[in-house]
Amino acid sequence: MLDEHCHAIWTLPEGDTRYSARWGFIKKEFTKAWLASEGHEQSRTQSRLNQRRRGVWQRRFWEHAIRDENDYARHFDYVHYNPVKHGYVERARDWPYSTYHRYVKQGVLRCRLGWWRF
């Protein structure tokens, strides 16, 4: 998770299509914990106030159904490279909050990602 956005790749249980409900739950629980720990929120518009929405998350999200192994590989790499792209670190391995470290230990990233500064 970066300070202004996050990326995730999920595998939902067979027959489960409640992607939006899952994001809604994550956003709700994160917001409660964030505000309880004195985290700040953005100013809220009248529309947000009327709908009882907090100023922590954007209203929408973008989802993408993975089409095949190549599509998965591109998104997998994108997620791990994102902190580098946004200037938080120089190499993906320097971002402590990433699943990158687990996948290196499992041997998943050994070959595929050599062309990026990992």
- For 93, half-sphere exposure in the C-beta direction (CA atoms, 13 angstrom radius) is 10
- By annotation, the residues acting in catalysis are 97
16, 36, 63: which is the final residue of a domain? 63
Please report the beta strands in the chain, taking only residues with DSSP state E, as ranges in sequence order: none
Q: Has residue 96 got a pLDDT over 80?
A: yes
For residue 49, the enclosing domain spans: 1-63
- 37 shares its domain with 15: yes
Residue 32, token pair as written in the block:
């409660």
Mean per-residue pLDDT for 25-40? 87
- 57 shares its domain with 77: no
- 80 shares its domain with 113: yes
Amino acid found at 63: E
63, 84, 107: which is the final residue of a domain? 63
Number of domains in the chain: 2
Q: Which residue would you say has higher pLDDT here, 4 or 39?
A: 39
Distance CA(46)–CA(68), nearest Å, equals: 43
